[in-house]
Each structure stands twice: as C-alpha cells, then as structure tokens.
Amino acid sequence: MNGADGRAVVQFRFAGRPVAARAGDTIAMALWRDGAVALRASSRDGAPRGVFCNMGVCFECLCRVDGATVRACTTVVRDGMQVEPGGRP
C-alpha cells in the first residue's frame, strides 16, 4: 500500500503502539508526524526529551530497536520494527 505521495506505507511499533510511516522516513520523523515528540525521559530528572538537532549530533533522541540503542533521527523505519523509548549512548 502506498501513501498519498506514492511512497510505501511502513508499519512499526513505538512503546507497543502501532505507528504508520512512509518508506524512507527516520523513526524521529515518523513519530513527529504521528504526534509523539517525547522519545525518552531524562535519566536525571525524568523530563521528556525528544528531537533537538535532527542530524545525529546531540543524542537527545535515543531509543532502542531490537535491544540496540539508536538515534531516532538517523535510523530509517523498517516494517515490523519494535521501537522502545530511551537507551544509553
């Protein structure tokens, strides 16, 4: 199935919740489009953290994919991907 722009629709899960994205989107952009801006909680005070630089520099967007910590802003979504909030650099 393709979206309105002709790109394939990719389904993945974030914190157990189904999310539809477009092929080629990063996790960050797919979640942003879906309305999720908090990708993890600060380990210091629990404050919500999300995309800041959007180019792989700041590590604010860390999340886990299949047990590995990744940057959501540089990781492209795959169909069936399981994404969990948080992670350690």
Residues that bind ligand FES (CB under 6 A): 51-54, 56-61, 71, 73
Q: Are 42 and 54 in contact (CB under 8 A)?
A: no
Q: Which residue has the tokens 């722009």?
A: 5
Decide whether 37 or 57 has the Cβ nearer to ligand FES.
Answer: 57
Cα radius of gyration rounded to whole Å, the chain: 13
In what helix (H) or strand (E) does residue 30 lie, and over which residues does it extend? helix 27-34
Which residue, 20 or 58, has its beta carbon nearer to ligand FES? Answer: 58
In the complex, least distance from residue 45 CB atom to ligand FES, rounded to whole angstroms? 19
Nearer to ligand FES, 12 or 54 (CB): 54
